């Protein structure tokens, strides 16, 4: 109950925070209650879909990060570790490069999700049927490197400066132009991906005993891999499609919440989803408040500024614990 109240409080804060003001002259709450049309449009057509989308994207990244960390038994794992984020970005960048995004609003998300799915399939093909967690993560590094090379190639051969700038800005991640259309595109895909990832909860607990221990308890490791990759590809692919490349949410949130669930992977999944959603929509409200006149602060930059110091802390901590 406390978690829900906190999230509702953050939603209220995010609704009233932005360039139009925080309960000040630009957007007074009284104007909204009295039927001010401008205030109503700002809240319902600009800020509310942006908040909903931010929560969905953050939840997808947080849940996927928690599931992957449980599978790899490594707190440094996140959706980027198996190349899904980079593959989704490659699909979206290809759409921007060829100018297909102007045809329909659904083409860019569809291509991003296709890229994520192709990345997942490539990962499974490279890793093979008997892949261990180590083989899977090394294969993910290779898939991610290939996807990043495709993105760099598209930027290198960009047909004009406008296409290049569009790709560069998209890669920084943003919810600036969010609308209910993006919410309608992302919601069912993220929900399906989350539902698949949640089915791995009990198997992740068994896997904490090691792969041999999990097999002894009847866990089908190949089936677990397939569900994990499918759930991550759907959820993260949809998130990247509508918000661009946003990192570190799937790394930071599960690590912060893990001590509160006694380090049990199954109990971490839902809190990580709620925490990721809360973090991202709050970070987005921060970008709206900090951005200068005509010089926006991109959401991916904000999450990197939060996540990089935390990542360094994790590395130092892991180094101290190593034998």
Domain residue extents for the chain: 2-32+42-321
C-alpha–C-alpha distance, residues 118 and 110, integer Å: 12
Beta carbons of 278 and 58 less than 8 angstroms apart? yes
Beta carbons of 63 and 266 less than 8 angstroms apart? no
pTM: 0.86
Residue 266's pLDDT is 92
Residue with tokens 């490349």: 245
Lowest mean pLDDT among 52-61, 82-91, 282-291: 282-291
pLDDT tens, 111-156? Answer: 888 888 888 888 878 876 666 767 777 888 889 999 999 999 988 8
With pLDDT > 90 as the criterion, what percentage of the chain qualifies? 21
Residue 188's pLDDT is 93
Q: State whether the Cα torsion 120-121-127-129 is positive or negative.
A: positive
Lowest mean pLDDT among 39-48, 60-69, 271-280, 289-298: 289-298
pLDDT higher than 80, residue 21: no
With 0-12 / 13-18 / 19 or more C-beta atoms within 10 angstroms meaning exposed / middle / buried, residue 13 is middle
pLDDT tens, 66-85? Answer: 998 898 887 777 887 778 88
pLDDT higher than 60, residue 292: no
Q: What is the mean pLDDT of residues 262-278?
A: 92
C-alpha–C-alpha distance, residues 219 and 138, integer Å: 22
- The pLDDT mean for the chain works out to 82
Residue 209's pLDDT is 86
Beta carbons of 208 and 70 less than 8 angstroms apart? yes
Task: Assign a CATH topology to domain 2-32+42-321.
Answer: ABC transporter involved in vitamin B12 uptake, BtuC (1.10.3470)
> Residue-wise over 148-172: b if at least 16 C-beta within 10 A, else e?
eebbeebbeebeeeebbebbebbbb
């Amino acid at each position: 109950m406390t978690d829900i109240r906190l999230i509702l409080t953050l939603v209220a804060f995010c609704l009233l925070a932005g360039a139009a003001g925080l309960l000040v002259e630009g957007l007074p709450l009284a104007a909204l209650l009295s039927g001010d049309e401008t205030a109503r449009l700002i809240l319902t057509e600009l800020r509310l879909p942006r908040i909903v989308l931010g929560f969905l994207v953050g939840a997808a990244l947080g849940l996927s990060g928690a599931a992957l960390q449980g599978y790899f038994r490594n707190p440094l794992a996140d959706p980027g570790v198996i190349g899904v984020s980079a593959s989704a970005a490659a699909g979206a960048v290809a759409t921007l490069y060829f100018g297909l995004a102007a045809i329909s609003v659904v083409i860019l998300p569809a291509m991003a999700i296709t890229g994520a799915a192709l990345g997942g399939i490539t990962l499974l093909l490279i890793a093979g049927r008997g892949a261990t967690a180590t083989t899977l993560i090394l294969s993910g590094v290779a898939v991610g490197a290939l996807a990043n090379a495709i993105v760099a190639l598209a930027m290198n051969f960009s047909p004009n400066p406008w296409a290049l700038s569009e790709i560069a800005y998209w890669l920084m991640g943003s919810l600036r132009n969010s609308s209910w259309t993006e919410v309608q595109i992302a919601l069912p895909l993220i929900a399906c991906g989350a539902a698949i990832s949640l089915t791995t909860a009990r198997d992740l607990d068994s896997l904490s005993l090691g792969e041999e221990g999990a097999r002894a308890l009847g866990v089908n490791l190949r089936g677990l891999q397939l569900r994990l990759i499918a759930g991550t590809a759907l959820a993260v692919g949809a998130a990247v499609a509508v918000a661009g490349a946003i990192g570190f949410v799937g790394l930071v949130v599960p690590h912060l919440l893990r001590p509160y669930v006694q380090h049990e992977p199954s109990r971490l999944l839902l809190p990580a989803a709620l925490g990721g959603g809360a973090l991202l929509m709050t970070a987005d409200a921060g970008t709206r408040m900090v951005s200068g006149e005509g010089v926006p602060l991109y959401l991916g930059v904000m999450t990197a500024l939060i996540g990089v110091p935390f990542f360094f802390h994790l590395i130092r901590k892991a180094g101290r614990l190593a034998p």
